[in-house]
Structure 1
Amino acid sequence: MRDEWGLDFFYFCLNHLLISAVLLFGNFLVTHFEWVASDSLQAAIQSTPLWLQVVLLILVADFVLYWEHRVFHEVRRLWPFHAVHHSVETMDWLAGSRAHVVQIFIERGLVMLALYLLGASKEALDIYVTFAALQAIIIHSNLNVPWGPIKYLLVTPQFHHWHHSSEKPAIDTNYSAHTVLFDRLFGTYHFPKAHWPAEYGTTQKLPGSYLGQLFYPFRRR
């Protein structure tokens, strides 16, 4: 069993317990932005085939997640919250669970709001949620399998592992959660396919306990 496995398992359990609170926060955002929703746009999207609705959900969510993720990296006051996620030094399926509660609410709340405004059908939303949950586990795993042409379209473990690398060429790259599209469009694509990163984690070591990481972003520097 790797170091800090117990810590990440605690994050895994806690984050699942927080789902109801995150949904309430998402609903709070929706009620304050209902005026933005377009009935005609939502009706048009719901009239499209199910597969196309799912593709639109993936792209819209990926666009929101890309910029939310990039802002947490590049805005100095926000980075300490996201640094908690990057403090993992051994990547596996459980590593993706380590995330600061503040970022969880912001990230998922914004995605929920964007997908609500899009107005896709419940069936499409269910498929997207399943896809996103499975992909989040897979891309943090150490599953070293050939992905073929898929790796040029979707985020795969090797691609996302480079995002977690503490090696300088890879720092602040590969922000996308679902596809590689926006990293390519906005110049943050980094994917040496011949090898995997040698080092993971943050350049400045974080506290090793949950409470230490919870209060880390609020410490004066």
Structure 2
Amino acid sequence: MDIFGIKGLLICALIFIPFEHLFAERPQKILRNGLGVDLIYMLFNGLVIKAVVVLIAANTLEAAAMLVPQSVTHAIGGQPIWLQVAEIIVITDIGVYWAHRAFHEIPALWKFHAVHHGIEELDWLGAFHSHPVDSIITKAISLTPIFFLGFSEASIAVFSVIYFWHTLLVHSNLRIPFGPLKWLIASPQFHRWHHANQREAYDKNFAGQLPFLDVVFGTYNATGNKVPEKYGVDDPVPSSYFGQIGYPLLRRRKRSNRVVPESKG
């Protein structure tokens, strides 16, 4: 049993590495800095997060059985699969948007999210580079309504596949013009400007899949075809895996200029 997802990793690598070589947004080595740490995140964190999602689903479904009328869950789960998937994308991305924004605006949460932003050479594997607390909280907020409302297993499975591959795509080092679809579907250009360590990019482009949410809530950063000068953060995030896991628990010695100053009151 491939509990660590080795086969999935190899499939992703066989797809993204050649394309990133042929259509790279910026020159970057395959064996880039931080590659080993990202592989650890992918192999070990993925296992932990999957287990947590199963627990969230089980507890939410149990609560829903007591609180939500069966007529509601049957009506939602009985819709066409394509419609359920579209609804799931909207509902989950609203949750992702506000969870993501909270991780930027609340200093205690930013210390967890800074680990993800610490990536200085961004590619598809960076999609897995996230502190488990960050990932678990975000998934709990975005997925709980889906399990609670009674969406079918088939629609959740289809959404999961779409979300997985799209998350890898937006973190990839690919130059892909989305044209007018850039307002509807998050592109690598849209998300790399969320990762840019430049003043005009700070606290922008929070949506995971639907950029129009940033337009609606005033956090959209229109960058045209410009390429960020650099990625990363000013925070002193360690370079090792265990250093990054423990970093949010350490007393901050340097304040990031990305977060709201803590109250002195």
Please give the range of the TM-score, normalised by the shorter of the 2 chains.
Answer: over 0.9
Q: Secondary structure, in 3 states, of the residue corresponding to 2:124?
A: coil
| Selected match of 1:149 from 157, 160, 180 | 180
Question: TM-score, normalization: structure 1?
Answer: 0.93
Per the TM alignment, residue 99 of structure 1 is displaced from its structure 2 partner at its CA by: 0.7
2:239 aligns to what? Answer: 208
| Residues 38 and 117 in structure 1, CA contact (< 8 A), matched pair in contact too | no
Identity, in percent, stands at 36
Whole-Å separation in 1 of the counterparts to 2:247 and 2:62: 31
Q: How does 1:82-121 map to 2 (within 5 A)?
A: 82-121=113-152
| Residues 160 and 174 in structure 1, CA contact (< 8 A), matched pair in contact too | yes
- Does residue 137 in structure 1 map to residue 168 in structure 2? yes
Q: Where in structure 1 are there 5+ consecutive unaligned residues?
A: none
Structure showing greater Rg? 2
| Residues 194 and 206 in structure 2, CA contact (< 8 A), matched pair in contact too | yes
- Does residue 167 in structure 1 map to residue 198 in structure 2? yes
Whole-Å separation in 2 of the counterparts to 1:29 and 1:194: 45
2:35 aligns to what? Answer: 5
For residues 138-191 of structure 1, what are the alpha-carbon distances to aligned partners after superposition, in whole Å with 9 as ceiling and x for unaligned? 000011122223212111100000000110011001010011121111100002
1:79 aligns to what? Answer: 110
| Residues 36 and 117 in structure 1, CA contact (< 8 A), matched pair in contact too | no
- Does residue 66 in structure 1 map to residue 97 in structure 2? yes
What letter is aligned with 2:45?
N
Per the TM alignment, residue 31 of structure 1 is displaced from its structure 2 partner at its CA by: 5.5
Q: Secondary structure, in 3 states, of the residue corresponding to 2:107?
A: coil
| Selected match of 1:220 from 232, 246, 251 | 251
Whole-Å separation in 1 of the counterparts to 2:57 and 2:89: 20
Q: How does 1:5-84 map to 2 (within 5 A)?
A: 5-27=35-57, 29-30=59-60, 33-34=63-64, 35-84=66-115
| Residues 139 and 158 in structure 1, CA contact (< 8 A), matched pair in contact too | yes
For residues 86-138 of structure 1, what are the alpha-carbon distances to aligned partners after superposition, in whole Å with 9 as ceiling and x for unaligned? 00001100011111111122122222312112322222111100000001100
Per the TM alignment, residue 195 of structure 1 is displaced from its structure 2 partner at its CA by: 1.0
Question: TM-score, normalization: structure 2?
Answer: 0.79
Q: Secondary structure, in 3 states, of the residue corresponding to 2:190?
A: helix
Per the TM alignment, residue 42 of structure 1 is displaced from its structure 2 partner at its CA by: 2.2
1:50–1:27 Cα change, 3 Å:
closer
The size of the alignment, in residue pairs, is: 221
Q: Secondary structure, in 3 states, of the residue corresponding to 1:77?
A: helix
| Residues 25 and 105 in structure 1, CA contact (< 8 A), matched pair in contact too | no
| Residues 176 and 188 in structure 2, CA contact (< 8 A), matched pair in contact too | no
| Residues 25 and 109 in structure 1, CA contact (< 8 A), matched pair in contact too | no
Per the TM alignment, residue 46 of structure 1 is displaced from its structure 2 partner at its CA by: 2.5
Per the TM alignment, residue 29 of structure 1 is displaced from its structure 2 partner at its CA by: 4.3
| Selected match of 1:183 from 194, 214, 219 | 214
1:79–1:38 Cα change, 3 Å:
farther
